[in-house]
Amino acid sequence: LAHPTWSMGAKITVDSATLMNKGLEVVEARWLYDIALPTISVVIHPQSIIHSLVEFVDGSIKAQLGLPDMRIPIQYAVTYPHRMPGPAPRLDLLEHPTMTFEAPDDARFPALSVCRAAGQRGPWATAALIAADEVAVHRFLAGTLSFGAIPALVGDAVERFGSGTGEPDVESLVGLDAEVRVWAATATSGPVI
């Protein structure tokens, strides 16, 4: 397993390959900023230099750029609200003169649609999504689930377990997480190995 521009662990590498990571970020943005899912767009940027974009009401866009190095956001999280010198190399725009963008292919990357559907349904569905994804990726890495079955299994979990109503408490979410993990450990959705 290897990502073309980031150095990361196995789980996030698989989530990146399915675009589950982007779908999870859409759900995070929905809850963190209390904004409607349809206003959140995913744009593929193969060079991994632009990490986020915000479009303002006047149509202007602000971008956060940097080399693909997690030390930068981790340092900022630890030192917030201050910016401090750090060990990560600096971005030289002249060394990265080309930045390209493309729309994700929903047919090729169904995990994005699964995440959007879970985000639309609410906290129960997103909790089921996260638990099922962790188990599905573990099963893929262990060789007991095909890569293509990951989004299908996660989508099935969202459908099966994501219909809770009201605001869940922590105890309810922990129980749901455990129930989804037990189910996902043996569930079959789509092609298995």
**In this structure, what token pair is assigned to residue 182?**
């037990």
Q: What is the pLDDT of residues 27-40, one digit of tens each?
A: 999 999 999 999 99
Cis peptide, bond prior to residue 4, ω within 30 of zero: no
Distance CA 41, CA 81 (A): 27
Q: What is the pLDDT of residues 130-141, one digit of tens each?
A: 999 999 999 999
Q: What is the pTM of this model?
A: 0.84
CATH at residue 132: 1.10.1740.10
Please enumerate in sequence order all residues whose Cβ is within 8 A of that of 64, keeping only pairs 6 or more positions apart, or say none. 50, 51, 52, 53
Helix/strand/coil (H, E, C) string of 91-114? CCHHHCCCCCCECCCCCCCCHHHH
Residue 97: inside a domain: no
Query: For the chain, how many residues are written?
Result: 193
Residue 145: inside a domain: yes
Residue 156: inside a domain: yes
Q: What is the pLDDT of residues 148-162, one digit of tens each?
A: 999 999 999 999 999
Angle at which helix 170-184 crosses helix 123-142, to 10 degrees, equals 30
Residue 77: inside a domain: no
Residue 20: inside a domain: no
Residue 86: inside a domain: no
Please state the domain count of the chain: 1
Residue 172: inside a domain: yes
Q: Which range of residues forms the domain containing residue 152?
A: 111-184
Residue 33: inside a domain: no
**In this structure, what token pair is assigned to residue 110?**
């169904």
